[in-house]
């Protein structure tokens, strides 16, 4: 069976890319697998990809000697997309040029299964991919984050797809309420961990870690506010936030304003997140909303207990409160600070949760996740 995944940008670091690369690599043990990236801005992906998986792109944005655009393509790059709804959360990355290349790629597609990974691509596949191809929308965001225009498009076009997958049970329930009964199957299949050895935290370093895109939804402003109280009681502890994004300058300014420049570091993104986790003792997830929480299961694999806001939807479906992590009332920096201090003070609790976390991680190994995908694909493509 030939399986094609489609990403907006396979050359950046984010949870969707990491989850797709991991799943594609595992499925490539048994099938012909390729990833199509709408955009390309780098010579190589920022994250490791199995050599068994073919990677190709539609619009090459690299500058220099290989700059491929003529006058027409340059003009189309400046024109807004008409294929993608303006309320798509990454609409700014689409253009008339991506419209042209994406439509051509979808109409010429020669594959058994197409798995698209965000609303704009899911809707394009629903309308323009060949009907002989099994079309699966893999949702990495929660339904509730979409605006009304996108929701109307989802309600109209997703029933024409062969399946929709969500990362959480709660999100599946929301999609089933939106879509007509029996219009298309909606299943929950979470992200998986690569099947390899993970470095383990020794719970000796006085470091709290967080990692992800520096955007409002991730709530790092709330974490910094909470850590002001943590640092007041435990000035020898440090917070390291790994990531890139539009709120970087605002977060740095917040650190300075609160006088936390000795306790809080905004680090660059890393392609060795597990190695950095092994240097820490706690993972903090201060998200206002979390589609799944890939960093949570990565932290578990490295023996880190997780303190997370009980936000919609991911953390509560991964963390067993009091067993491998602690859940905190959403968007409550005071409660977050109190919980972090509790885990810092209680070393025995921290070690017990670290051990339990490594056991929980085994439930998210990619071979088991790939088996769920195999079952779905066998049902749709007997």
Q: What is the pLDDT of residue 64?
A: 59
Nearest to 60 by CA among 74, 50, 48: 74
Q: What is the pLDDT of residue 103?
A: 97
From CA 33, how far away is CA 47, in angstroms rounded? 17
From CA 141, how far away is CA 161, in angstroms rounded? 18
Q: What is the pLDDT of residue 195?
A: 86
Q: What is the pLDDT of residue 76?
A: 92
From CA 243, how far away is CA 332, in angstroms rounded? 22
CA angle 226, 228, 234 (to 5 degrees): 105
CATH code of 207-364, in short, is 3.40.50.2000
Q: What is the pLDDT of residue 62?
A: 84
Q: What is the pLDDT of residue 66?
A: 52
- Tell me the average confidence (pLDDT) per consecutive run of 10 residues in the chain, 382 residues long: 97 90 96 97 93 96 65 89 96 96 96 97 97 95 91 96 95 92 91 92 97 94 98 98 95 97 94 94 95 91 97 91 97 98 97 97 94 95 76
Residue 123 CA: distances (Å) to CA of 3, 150, 332: 18, 9, 36
From CA 334, how far away is CA 321, in angstroms rounded? 18
Q: What is the pLDDT of residue 144?
A: 87
Q: What does the domain layout of the chain look like in residue ranges?
A: 2-193+365-380, 207-364
How is domain 2-193+365-380 classified at the architecture level of CATH?
3-Layer(aba) Sandwich (3.40)
Nearest to 23 by CA among 139, 166, 195, 163: 195
Same CATH topology for 2-193+365-380 and 207-364?
yes
């Amino acid at each position: 069976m030939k399986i094609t995944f489609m990403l907006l940008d396979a050359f950046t670091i984010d949870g969707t890319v990491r989850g797709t690369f991991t799943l594609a690599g595992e499925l490539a043990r048994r099938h012909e697998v390729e990833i199509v990236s709408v955009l390309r801005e780098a010579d190589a992906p920022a994250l490791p990809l199995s050599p068994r998986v073919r990677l190709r792109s539609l619009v090459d944005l690299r500058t220099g000697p290989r700059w491929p655009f003529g006058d027409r393509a340059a003009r189309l790059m400046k024109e807004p997309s008409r294929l993608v709804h303006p309320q798509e959360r990454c609409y700014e990355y689409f253009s008339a040029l991506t419209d042209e290349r994406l439509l051509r790629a979808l109409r010429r597609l020669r594959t058994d299964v197409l798995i698209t990974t965000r609303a704009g691509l899911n809707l394009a596949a629903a309308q323009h991919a060949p009907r002989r191809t099994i079309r699966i929308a893999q949702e990495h965001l929660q339904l509730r984050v979409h605006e009304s225009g996108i929701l109307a498009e989802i309600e109209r076009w997703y029933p024409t797809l062969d399946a929709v997958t969500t990362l959480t049970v709660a999100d599946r329930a929301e999609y089933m309420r939106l879509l007509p009964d029996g219009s298309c199957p909606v299943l929950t299949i979470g992200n998986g961990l690569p099947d390899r050895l993970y470095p383990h935290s020794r719970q000796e370093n006085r470091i709290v870690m967080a990692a992800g895109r520096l955007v409002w939804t991730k709530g790092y402003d709330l974490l910094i506010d909470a850590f002001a109280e943590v640092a007041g009681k435990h000035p020898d502890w440090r917070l390291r936030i790994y990531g890139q994004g539009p709120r970087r300058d605002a977060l740095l300014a917040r650190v300075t304003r609160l006088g936390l420049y000795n306790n809080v570091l905004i680090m660059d993104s890393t392609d060795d997140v597990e190695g950095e986790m092994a240097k820490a003792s706690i993972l903090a997830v201060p998200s206002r909303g979390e589609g799944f929480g890939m960093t949570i299961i990565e932290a578990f694999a490295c023996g880190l207990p997780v303190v997370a806001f009980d936000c919609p939807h991911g953390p509560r479906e991964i963390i067993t409160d009091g067993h491998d992590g602690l859940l905190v009332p959403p968007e409550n920096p005071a409660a977050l600070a109190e919980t972090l201090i509790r885990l810092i003070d209680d070393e025995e609790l921290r070690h017990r949760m670290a051990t339990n976390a490594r056991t929980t991680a085994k439930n998210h190994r990619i071979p088991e996740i790939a088996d769920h995908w195999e079952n779905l694909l066998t049902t749709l493509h007997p």
